[in-house]
Chain A
Amino acid sequence: MSLKEKMVSSFLAFELDTNINSPVHDIRSESIKDFEKIGFPGKKNEYWKYTPINKVLNDKLTVFKKKRHLIEFEKVKDFFVNGIESYKIVFIDGAYDPLWSNTTHKGVDICILSAILENKKYEGLINKYYNTITDKNESFSLLNSSFSKEGAFVHIPKNMELDKPIEIIHINSGGESSLMLQPRSLIILEKNSKAQILESHYSLVGENNKSPYSYPGFIDPLTNTLTEIHVEENANLDYYKIQNDLETTSLIDNTYINQKRDSEVSCHTFSFGGNIVRNNLNFYQNGENINSIMKGITILGGNQHTDHHTLVHHANPNCESYQEYKGIYNDNSTGVFNGRVLVDKIAQKINAFQQNNNLLVGEKSSVNTKPQLEIFADDVKCSHGCTIGQLDDSALFYLKTRGISEKEAKGLLTYAFANNVLENVKMQALKTKIKKIIANKIGVNLGFEL
């Protein structure tokens, strides 16, 4: 049985275990039907041209978990941002872990999706927002919608500035082979509200950078996550993603963000590892005076691969979008950046900026970068640029004349190259955490406090 067939037949078993009177039941059944029609992306699919996703679509994968894994705090404490107070929603192998979570319903909902889907009180919200902005022609979004049951739910009421950040943490215990996880999150920021959200994906690490429970024939998890974010008028979301996983685990991350007028969303994506990581980050601007900011740092080594597909749909006038992605590729690692900017005919006076810079450090590393601008308005400012190269010789010489060794100078310049993207990270503790990960990834002892 192919993985596609297996998924379709798994749905019948999955359905038995869900409430068929739930408002999302129809969405699930429609989605699996649509998935059955289109299946997984084929080899000639342009959208997946440079990412060999079939490599990780092993037909042994299953959406059913057999057992529950408990993990000691000691092993996961570094996955949290140290030194800050935060709301926490923690999932281990896709299942909610109440032990380390810190959720709330006091004036604001920061909790799990499964509880909301079964609660009449939230039916209005679900009908208004759930699965309204996902791409109904995208295989993995459809698959996630079919099997969606658990994930984070965040609802910030109007005029509220959230008192502390939210950490949504997905941990793979590695305790079971062949898992395909389908986390689903729904985030709603009402009018004039403001929040900071950090979403991260980690795995427990054993010897040789493998899963601690790995054995010959072990198939590492594939996570197919989907996050829907609705940002109402004049709301402000500061959103961060950390993808720092094993070289053997893979992640497909579909994020859909719908913005209303006067709102601002900033999304930083830190991709520091995984076997194959695919980000589909989609912004829809539904109103005037909207600002959408996307920044990213990718640092890979070994045979890792990361793909950033971004989409900004400028559907209204007087809006802005800003994209700045940097990549550092060591060893045989590979990367993709595809930045699509779609400007509708009525979307006059918009300003769209896009920049993608890459450092190829490994001799066999490579990157495919492609700006994709589709502009139907005539009074807009759209700029884009990309570079692929090595470190600047004149900068290297400058550092060396100050007595800094070649190795250190290269490390420092590489660090500087990435560090430059961090200036808008507003959470100081997170900034420090990211700087340390970067220094560690580059393997340089910088000799100053980060």
Chain B
Amino acid sequence: MLEIKDLHVSIDGKEILKGLSLNVKPGEIHAIMGPNGSGKSTLSSVIAGNEDYEVTKGSIFYKNENIEDLSAEERANRGIFMSFQYPVEIPGITVTNFIKTAINSNLKARGEKEMAANEMLKKIRDKANMLEIDSKFLSRSLNEGFSGGEKKRNEIFQMAMLEPSLAILDETDSGLDIDALRIVANGVNKIKSSSNAIVIITHYQRLLDHIIPDYVHVLQDGKIAKSGNKELALELEEKGYDWI
């Protein structure tokens, strides 16, 4: 699904990722943990296609295709999704209209027919129910005045609607209270299948109580310093990142 080899990434001439490698197969959940400034958000941004970051060395293959030259929208059209740590507020567009535009843009880019209005409505209703989202919420302006928890829930709602093959969840647990965390995690677990893959980027272990990763990687100074299974996350929680 995702194969990152010896990735070096810079922003404004400063090297953030210094030779990162990662291999994610369909059906797997990977957690990437690390202290602040270790390069976690850089990794998610560069996979999503943020052009502010420059890949100076190495490669990212997605479904056996080098995606280096693909724009963010082309990556999304191919099934890559990123849940933002800080989703952008867009007054003037409702959540519903935004997701309709996104779904039909992807279908169009893949050469498929636009989704019928009733089918769209049903899907929106189903996914909103799954994430315990009130219908009033859907007619509000995108992320405008949303609480931290509402923003994150809205990100996972978009993920559920877009059904990506690869989802990068960047600090999805931050800003969530325990109830919202449980709802979001349940949603992610329901979306998870043997054909898609999820990369969870997180500072803390608590989301991993609810979404059980197959692999845990520790990112330190732009490189994977240690990999293991879910036990590693618990150990990190107990001993801190200095222990690595």
Interface residue ranges, A against B (CB under 8 Å): 392, 394-395, 397-406, 408-409, 412-413, 415-420, 446-448
Evaluate contact between A413 and B114: CB separation under 8 angstroms.
no
Evaluate contact between B76 and A448: CB separation under 8 angstroms.
no
Given A398-B87, A403-B106: A447 and B92 interface contact (C-beta under 8 Å): no
Evaluate contact between A412 and B72: CB separation under 8 angstroms.
no
Q: Which residues of A contact B84 (CB under 8 A)?
A: 398, 401
- In the A-B complex, the 4 residue pairs with the smallest Cβ-Cβ separation, listed nearest first, are A416-B92, A403-B76, A420-B92, A400-B72
Query: Does B93 touch A at the CB level, under 8 Å?
Result: yes
Query: Does B145 touch A at the CB level, under 8 Å?
Result: no
7 A–B pairs (Cβ distance < 8 Å), ordered by A? A397-B72, A402-B102, A403-B76, A404-B73, A404-B102, A406-B71, A409-B73
Docked complex Cα distance between A413 and B89 (Å)? 11
Closest partner residue, chain A, to B100 (CB atom): A448
**Interface hits, B54-104 → A, CB 8 Å:** 71-73, 75-77, 81-82, 84, 87-88, 90-93, 96-98, 100-102, 104
Evaluate contact between B162 and A403: CB separation under 8 angstroms.
yes
Evaluate contact between B71 and A400: CB separation under 8 angstroms.
yes
Evaluate contact between A416 and B93: CB separation under 8 angstroms.
yes
Q: Which residues of B contact A395 (CB under 8 A)?
A: 88, 90
Query: Does B50 touch A at the CB level, under 8 Å?
Result: yes
Evaluate contact between B88 and A394: CB separation under 8 angstroms.
yes
Evaluate contact between A419 and B100: CB separation under 8 angstroms.
no
The contact of B91 among A399, A401, A403, A416, by CB within 8 Å, is A416
Evaluate contact between B93 and A419: CB separation under 8 angstroms.
yes
Evaluate contact between B158 and A402: CB separation under 8 angstroms.
yes
Docked complex Cα distance between A11 and B141 (Å)? 54
Evaluate contact between B73 and A400: CB separation under 8 angstroms.
yes
Evaluate contact between B73 and A416: CB separation under 8 angstroms.
no
The 8 A CB mask of B102-114 against A (1 = contact, 0 = none) is 1011100100001
How close is A55's CB to chain B, nearest CB, in angstroms?
A: 34
Closest partner residue, chain A, to B80 (CB atom): A401
Query: Does B48 touch A at the CB level, under 8 Å?
Result: yes
Supplied contacts A400-B71, A402-B98, A406-B71, 16 more A-B pairs, CB within 8 Å: A392-B88, A395-B88, A395-B90, A398-B88, A401-B49, A401-B81, A401-B84, A402-B158, A403-B162, A408-B105, A413-B90, A416-B141, A418-B92, A419-B92, A447-B101, A447-B104
Evaluate contact between A403 and B73: CB separation under 8 angstroms.
yes
The contact of B72 among A401, A408, A416, A447, by CB within 8 Å, is A401
Q: Which residues of B contact A417 (CB under 8 A)?
A: 92
Docked complex Cα distance between A151 and B98 (Å)? 44
Q: Which residues of B contact A418 (CB under 8 A)?
A: 92
Q: Which residues of A contact B101 (CB under 8 A)?
A: 404, 408, 412, 446-448
Docked complex Cα distance between A412 and B72 (Å)? 17
Docked complex Cα distance between A400 and B48 (Å)? 9
How close is B113's CB to chain A, nearest CB, in angstroms?
A: 13
Closest partner residue, chain B, to A446 (CB atom): B101
Q: Which residues of B contact A415 (CB under 8 A)?
A: 92-93
Docked complex Cα distance between A399 and B141 (Å)? 14
Which one of A394, A398, A401 has the highest number of Cβ atoms from chain B below 10 Å of its Cβ?
A401
Interface residue ranges, B against A (CB under 8 Å): 48-50, 71-73, 75-77, 81-82, 84, 87-88, 90-93, 96-98, 100-102, 104-106, 109, 114, 141, 158, 162
Evaluate contact between A400 and B88: CB separation under 8 angstroms.
no
Which one of B76, B81, B109 has the highest number of Cβ atoms from chain A below 10 Å of its Cβ?
B76
How close is A154's CB to chain B, nearest CB, in angstroms?
A: 33
How close is B122's CB to chain A, nearest CB, in angstroms?
A: 16
Evaluate contact between A448 and B97: CB separation under 8 angstroms.
yes
Given A403-B102, A404-B73, A404-B101: A397 and B50 interface contact (C-beta under 8 Å): yes
Docked complex Cα distance between A213 and B193 (Å)? 66
Q: Which residues of A contact B77 (CB under 8 A)?
A: 403
Evaluate contact between A404 and B105: CB separation under 8 angstroms.
yes
Docked complex Cα distance between A395 and B101 (Å)? 15
How close is B62's CB to chain A, nearest CB, in angstroms?
A: 14
Evaluate contact between B90 and A416: CB separation under 8 angstroms.
yes
Evaluate contact between B73 and A405: CB separation under 8 angstroms.
yes
Given A415-B93, A416-B93, A446-B101: A401 and B76 interface contact (C-beta under 8 Å): yes
Q: Which residues of A contact B100 (CB under 8 A)?
A: 447-448
Closest partner residue, chain A, to B89 (CB atom): A395
Q: Which residues of A contact B109 (CB under 8 A)?
A: 403, 405
Docked complex Cα distance between A403 and B80 (Å)? 9
Which one of A392, A397, A406, A409 has the highest number of Cβ atoms from chain B below 10 Å of its Cβ?
A397
Q: Which residues of B contact A404 (CB under 8 A)?
A: 73, 76, 101-102, 105
Q: Which residues of A contact B102 (CB under 8 A)?
A: 399, 402-404
Docked complex Cα distance between A406 and B109 (Å)? 12
Q: Which residues of A contact B87 (CB under 8 A)?
A: 398
Docked complex Cα distance between A415 and B94 (Å)? 12
Docked complex Cα distance between A420 and B90 (Å)? 10
Q: Which residues of A contact B75 (CB under 8 A)?
A: 401
Docked complex Cα distance between A397 and B98 (Å)? 14
Closest partner residue, chain B, to A417 (CB atom): B92
Q: Which residues of B contact A408 (CB under 8 A)?
A: 101, 105
Docked complex Cα distance between A409 and B91 (Å)? 14
Docked complex Cα distance between A399 and B158 (Å)? 12
Docked complex Cα distance between A409 and B73 (Å)? 10
Docked complex Cα distance between A25 and B90 (Å)? 55
Q: Which residues of A contact B91 (CB under 8 A)?
A: 416, 420
Which one of B97, B101, B105 has the highest number of Cβ atoms from chain A below 10 Å of its Cβ?
B101
Which one of B71, B91, B97, B114 has the highest number of Cβ atoms from chain A below 10 Å of its Cβ?
B97
